[in-house]
Amino acid sequence: MNSRLIAARVLSRVLQDGQSLTAALDNVMPTIESVKDRAFVQALCYGVCRYYHRLDFILSQLLDKPLKDIDVKCLALIGLYQLQFMRVKPHAAVSETVAAARKKPWAKSLINAVLRSYLREQDRIEQQADQEQSAAVSHPHWLIQQIQHDWPQQSLQLFLENNHQPPMVLRVNLARTSREHYLNLLIERDISAVPVDFCMSALRLDRPVPVDLLPGFEQGLVSVQDTAAQLAAQLLDVQPGQRVLDVCAAPGGKAAHILESQPQLKELVAVDIDAARMQRVSENLQRLTLTARLLVGDAANPEAWWDGQTFERILLDAPCSALGVVRRHPDIKLLRRAEDIAQLQSLQKNILDAIWPLLAPGGILLYATCSVLKQENEQQIQAFLTAHSDAAQLPIEASWGSGREFGRQIFTGESAMDGFYYARIIKR
């Protein structure tokens, strides 16, 4: 099947059915035999999602009326993306995209006309796109307003970073090898990487590579995890003999890192509401030959799964808007809605309140999100501390991120990291 047609059908599942790009691609990738074709389909889908708001505006300037056929619209967007952002030769981009609409003669002529019109009027249309706010930064209007409200000084940089492709970062299993030794293993494979100075387990690759090319991956020497997510283990500061609870644990990267960092734990309990995602936690721990107690349960209702024994450390990787990882999941800009934020904020509060009794006196709770919105982050923690007299903030002194009155914020792209937020709370 034509690669562009496959990509169009993937995109239609995202735009029309609300399916995540990851899930939509997972459904079709096994059916594509060629590695090169799989990479091309993925590049098209991620690229169109990343620049959807700009491409959609440009398409609207080239049409007399909106396209109702979602598959044809996706093909037109794919054509425009190739012409604007890829190294595909223009004649090939046009002819192959037109050919993908082979069962709809009217669509072939329309796509051909749209793409050729764009090539003729490219400079004028691009200038128009630069004048329209949503098209200029390729974000939905509600999100532009939200980020500008929260971070007026940083907003433009955040929009730019969200549209960049993220780096691939490795977490070296320091219980099994040293970062220096693993870096040498990468050099032997002609894989270039640099150590991250403020995170002892992190290596940032110059270029992404398939995990099966990483030395010792199957043997558990290394995992793929952004630097910002790797900071959780050191902030939790787990000591030998302690019980640790990882709430909303899937897919298990932070739980694994905690176990690698402190092999002398008494126990790590990982909880997630999604049984399928919990299976991924199990698989990740098996690859790393690590052991934890895995529970499928609702974090907002611990009475259903908690055994009554308190924990000295709790990691709450709270469900959030994920607006700090838009560069890794650009479909978030298409699927997330403004009204989602208040619902997530309420869920975060409910989980925080429900989990707090599980923390032992003197214990530490680490609150984490992959968001840059204040409602989910510092405002959430401020409200929690106000409502709980036995809770106090532990300052985070660090060379990374920006210290806030409550917690510490990492802006997307800062030190090449994903957007993240952390707050440490101690029980008096």
Give me 184's structure tokens: 């040498």
Complete DSSP assignment for 373-420: -GGGTHHHHHHHHHH-TTEEEEP---SSSEE-SSSEEE-TTGGGPPPE
Whole-number Å distance between alpha carbons of 258 and 230: 9
Amino acid at 12: S
Give me 70's structure tokens: 């979602």
Q: Is 49 a catalytic residue?
A: no
Helical packing angle, 70-85 and 105-131, nearest 10°: 50
Quick one: how far is CA 386 from the chain centroid?
30
| 414 secondary structure, DSSP code | G
> In this structure, are strands 202-205 and 402-403 parallel, antiparallel, or unpaired?
unpaired
- The active-site residue out of 74, 199, 248, 370 is 370
H-helix segments, 163-213: 179-188
Whole-number Å distance between alpha carbons of 414 and 428: 33
- Tokens 């509401």, residue located: 273
Whole-number Å distance between alpha carbons of 182 and 214: 10
Whole-number Å distance between alpha carbons of 89 and 58: 20
Whole-number Å distance between alpha carbons of 2 and 4: 5
Burial of residue 91, with CB atoms counted within 10 A of its CB: 0-12 exposed, 13-18 middle, 19 or more buried: exposed
- The residues facing 393 across adjacent strands are 425
CB–CB of 369/351 below 8 Å? no
Q: In what order do the strands lie in the sheet with 222-224?
A: 193-195, 202-205, 169-172, 222-224
Burial of residue 110, with CB atoms counted within 10 A of its CB: 0-12 exposed, 13-18 middle, 19 or more buried: buried
Half-sphere exposure of 225 (CA within 13 A, CB side): 24
Half-sphere exposure of 80 (CA within 13 A, CB side): 30
CB–CB of 407/421 below 8 Å? yes
CA torsion angle for 248, 252, 254, 260 (degrees, to 10)?
A: 140
Whole-number Å distance between alpha carbons of 209 and 184: 16
Give me 80's structure tokens: 């425009």
Residues assigned a catalytic role: 370
